[in-house]
Amino acid sequence: MTAQPHDEQPHANDYIAPAPRISVQAFCASVATATTARAAAEDRRLAKAHLTVHMGGIAAAVDTYHKAPTPNVIVLETEPDKDFLAGLDDLAGVCDPGTRVVVLGNASDVAPYRELVRRGVNDYVIGPVQVLDIVRSICSLFSASEAVSVGRLIAVAGAKGGVGASTVAHNVAWTIARDIGLDSVVVDLDLAFGTAGLDYNQDPTLGIANAVFSPERPDTAYMERLLSKCGDHLSLLAAPATLDQVYDFGADAFDAIFDTMRMTTSCIVLDVPHQWTAWTKRVLVGADDILIVAEPDLANMRNAKNMMNLLKASRPNDRPPLYCLNQVGMPKRPEIEVKDFAKTIESQPIATIPFDCRLFGEAANNGQMIAEVSARHRTTKTFLQIAQRLTGRPDLAEARESFLSPILKKLQGRRDDGRRAAG
């Protein structure tokens, strides 16, 4: 249990795991906090939680639970000049075992923090609270101690068909696994025409189709059997890439699959096909981070702008989607300048990947990643930079160097002192 200051703009490493299916009731003392709590109820990470907001503070909570069972979580706002500890004692008399309590306080609270802990308060957040404070507090009650969603979902989608979004997704996932060292899974969601199997030189007989068409909710053991191993830290949930059936899905078709995978996998990279359906929209809105891949032309610029605007509006408490420009500098093709593209999108691309038909063609035909074809190529470094930006983590080599540098400097200093003494 920790006291938390209110938050600013979300960052890549400010990861909040989604809450499971729980009931939450908030009892607010101020209209401002009630408004914030209602906004939190709309956050994607509380999509499975049922959050209701009431006025009246702790007195209203005690009165309510004299007549009704308590939910999984109670959120209480303190009130100035009122004995909050006495209210907690009254609440304890009507609170069911296992109910967790979050207190939204302020700097003028007189109740000692240790007294709140002694009375079983699970989290204390110093106000004024923002939406992310409430979301984080509720979600952390479960992700910190129970087997619930912990893995990060990264969705990669093209602003237009044929822009190389799948190639970017596969290379970034491979880099996250090899260079950053996170256990990762690539999920090829283009069931009819997916290329992940070809890019990783795999021909699995099982994959995403088995999971999505399974009559039972997939568990972790079942999902493990469907994965193809592509490296020490990388696995693939491949698409069948066959046309013997049509692949029409409801909006929530992949929810159970992602929930199960998040329990055991640090990073899940979703290769999202270029189509606009209920389920692709849900995948993008529900991801923890989004990378849009575009080429520098007018249609891509329009589509990327539309996607960015919709996703920003649908995810007001997340950092904005990121985008990169691919196949930049194709000979004889008129292109929109990067600065003009960025001006329309109202943000800079996190990377520009140059057109190189020989390099990418060789990798695709050999079932290899760009780094396997040319480890020193600048595009290899670009994929590492994208991976670091999406995960918020340095690569293992940099981390090891950073960890050892103070020791090495000390040893070097001793050597220098020894040489001076000898001289």
Q: Which H or E element spans position 134?
A: helix 131-143
The residues near 269 (Cβ < 8 Å, ≥ 6 apart) are 154, 156, 169, 172, 173, 176, 184, 185, 186, 187
CA distances from 399 to 171, 183, 272, 394, 403 (A): 21, 17, 31, 6, 6
CA angle (72, 74, 77) in 5-degree steps: 165
Strand duo 123-126 + 3-4: pairing: parallel
pLDDT value, residue 147: 44
pLDDT value, residue 4: 42
Single pTM value for the model? 0.82
The residue among 206, 197, 196, 203 whose CA lies nearest residue 169 is 196
pLDDT value, residue 412: 62
Mean pLDDT of each 10-residue bin along the chain, 423 residues long: 45 76 94 96 93 94 91 91 84 88 81 77 89 94 60 96 97 96 96 96 94 92 95 95 93 94 93 97 96 98 98 94 97 96 97 96 96 95 96 65 55 58 53
Whole-number Å distance between alpha carbons of 46 and 40: 8
pLDDT value, residue 419: 56
pLDDT value, residue 51: 96
pLDDT value, residue 12: 55
Sign, CA torsion 221/223/228/229: negative
pLDDT value, residue 6: 42
The residue among 124, 120, 129 whose CA lies nearest residue 91 is 120
